[in-house]
Structure 1
Amino acid sequence: MRYFAVVVDNTNKVVVLETSGWQKVSQFDRAQMLGTSTLAFLTNSEIATLAEQGRSPWAFAVHDAATGRLDRHVQRPPEFSQAVTNAIVVTSDGRYAAVLVGIRETAILIFNAVTGDFIGRLATPSGSWSRRLVTGPADQLATDINFFGIAARATVRKEIQTFDVTSNERARVLQGHVPLVGAIAWSPEGRYIASGAAGLTKENASTWIRDNDPIRIWDASTGSLVRSISGFHDGVAALAWNASGTLLASVGGKDERERGYALRLWTLTKPEPIFDYRVPGTEPVAPLSFDPRSGRLILGWRGDVYVYDVVGLS
């Protein structure tokens, strides 16, 4: 049996579905978190979630997918026990679990995904902090890189950097967004990285900073920009690719006149979205993902999980 897990909206509820009939098989509560990537599959039947926010000896908790039962905790190094935990991902090859901790200065801690042993700290720049962490093909990760001081100004583009975990070396630097990076998504086949701007920020009493191309698509192998998507999408809260890397889903602002969120689908060639749905109300839409086998689009809204067939769109 194959499972799909989702954190519903901004709640602490994790719902596990089996994907043959898309029925709920289990549910459990995770610790309250500030981050976005707060669960990941270690194996097909084990789900890793961030254990606690703030002072905690645990890096992550492991739950049984079929029952929701808490099986074990994985300990983090003592020197990071006071740091806030923000995100967890498991590399595509299943070898590593990466946990993003800290606020003013962050660290990405690497663990053996099978044994839970701590391996080391990812070689992000000294003094930097990150908000987003995603996995790419094999053992690759991508994260945003931010600094304080002059480099923190809203007019300075915040980089996205990719890393090879096994060698612990930086692979590529993408020029990112102003004022901050709001979302990152690596296409499943590994060719593209999509990124979104976090919204607009006040630079001073009279100047607001907004990214002119709030969604950007990059060639993951070269770091070159493939496509920019302009228009009003403040701020881009979530991005997801379908399995073939031909459709990109985004959650962002409706428009300048109306608060709330819109779900949009994009291709690599068409300038406008091929699907644009203005979600009723102003509640957040999260998370957003494609099931890699069925191609269905899954999102959480108002405490429920929605599964959509994406047909006739290309």
Structure 2
Amino acid sequence: GYRPAAAQRLATARLHRPRARRLGTDLVLRAAVQGMLDQAWSPEQIGHALRERFPDVAVRQLCHESIYQAIYDRDSVLSRHRCGSLRTGRRRRRPRPRGDARTPRSLRDMTSIHQRPAGIADRAEAGHWEGDLITGALNRSAIGTLVERTTRYTVLVHLPDTHTAFATRDAVIAAMDQLPRHLRRSLTWDQGKEMAHHVQITAAIGAEVYFCDPRSPWQRGTNENTNGLLRQYFPKGANLRVHSAEDLAAVQAELNNRPRKVLGWTSPAAALSALQSPHQEAAVATFA
């Protein structure tokens, strides 16, 4: 006869049975997961993509925790370097520390973030960017990062020789000059000395530059999050000068074509393209 207690034990066991084991027997599922890991997708992005790819095949749908378990499993059938497929490259997940180690500085003629129009904060209007530098060993090399607040679209700024205020000014102007005028509304940065020529940047791109409070990276949180993702490609302590403009373009394209949960699982590239009118599409395509 029916034994409720025994049935409950079996149901509980089935519930906790590692779904990651399906990767060992389902070659189609394994290939799909490995392919997305190789493109540096996160387990959460992969889980969502599997539900879209196999909507009627429940056994090929994995939650992100199951994918994490498969990656960390000592006997995993995934790539030998599977931990490197995670964005942090770590073998254990841990919270990212907060804070900004750079010394606070005050730039001349700067406009504070507290003077920035309140409408920028709600992301209702595209064209408002956050920027920063990610630096290499001993701060001797750097890459500029620009992130559009609404679409999360990222532009990487090549600084092959130096990241002085002059070099940063010229590189930021060149990068933003490729954008349609209506996508150059404002830029928010921290008070790093690389932005000493911000007045000239404003004049060149036609957009106001706003500055965060010292040691307040959360005031440009979209950019901070993106910089964390970029460390997968450009580790701390590395020489960033070895990366060519073509290398940066490849990383930029990979990052912008990943589906993002915050965008309803569309990609930044698709979100940006959706904002363009037909005659502006070509301009965006040049750096997409």
TM-score normalized with structure 2 length:
0.29
TM-score normalized with structure 1 length:
0.27
Q: Which has the larger radius of gyration?
A: 2
By relative contact order (CA 8 Å, sep 6+), the higher-ranking structure is 2
More strand by share: 1
